[in-house]
Structure 1
Amino acid sequence: MHSIYERIESLIKRQGLTKKAFCEQLNISTGNMGDWKRGKSTPGTHKLIEIAAFFNVSLDWLILGKRSVDTVKESGEDYFFGQIRQLNCQTDELLQKEKEFIKEYIEFTEYRKRKADDGNSN
């Protein structure tokens, strides 16, 4: 499976849902699904997070197909290393749009971790 859409489609089938039922449950228009299928667009950050949570899969797998479907991991370590956050060689095969999304996801994960740490210190 090479695209986000193909991974979403496989999850829908695995769950025994119809595409229509999936769209209704996650408030996705069938037109958007069609655009994803044709490669005209991809789900936004918030929708990808919802889809990953709905199917209990990692964003790593959903976005890039880099992990097993059953792996849940929230870390950017596979895509960045060291304090300088230098991109590793995996990014040669990614589009600029995908690199930006990964950076945005890592920032979101770091934000969530800070919020959780702040909540634990009170």
Structure 2
Amino acid sequence: MSIYDRIELLIKTRGMTKKDFCQELGISTGNLGDWKRGKSTPSTNKLIEISAFFDTSLDWLLTGRERTPYQIHESMEAYVADVTKLGEMGGKLTPVEAAFIQEYLEFVQYRREKKKGGN
């Protein structure tokens, strides 16, 4: 299956016409025809737009396979929350360094909470 075949499948799955697809993404019907005949392929920017439009991965669009993500599962306990203990990990921290690390840890926690809230 080619990139064009996968794009055509996405168009059909969305219930669109090829003309609607071209208008929506600013693609000429001539370019779409060239993709179908293998005369050319979509530019990188256009592939990114198509991927975003159909909410599909670039991996699938390009290869037909999804990339298997490597996930690391960690608990919050894996992180040092008390910056005074960081000094035990290779030397003493200055008060400025400790304050910086504490601020960073608070920032990371804030971002996680904000992400969980859907923002």
TM-score (normalizing by structure 1): 0.55
In structure 1, what is the equivalent of residue 34 of structure 2?
A: 35
Which stretches of structure 1, 4 residues or more, deviate above 2 A after TM superposition? none
Q: 1:14-93 residue pairs with structure 2 within 5 A?
A: 14-67=13-66
Displacement of 1:66: 1.1
CA-to-partner distance for each residue in 1:54-95, whole Å, 9 max, x for gaps? 00000000011012xxxxx6x7x8xxxxxxxxxxxxxxxxxx
Q: What percent identity do the matched residue pairs reach? A: 66
**Whole-angstrom distance in 2 between the partners of 1:15 and 1:66:** 20
Q: What is the alpha-carbon root mean square deviation over aligned residues? A: 1.9
Displacement of 1:11: 0.2
SS in 1 for 2:65: coil
In structure 2, what is the equivalent of residue 101 of structure 1?
A: none
The one-letter code sitting in structure 1 at the alignment partner of 2:25 is: L
The count of aligned residue pairs is 71
Larger Rg: 2
Structure 2, unmatched stretches of 5+, are 71-110, 112-119
Structure 1, unmatched stretches of 5+, are 68-72, 78-119
TM-score (normalizing by structure 2): 0.56
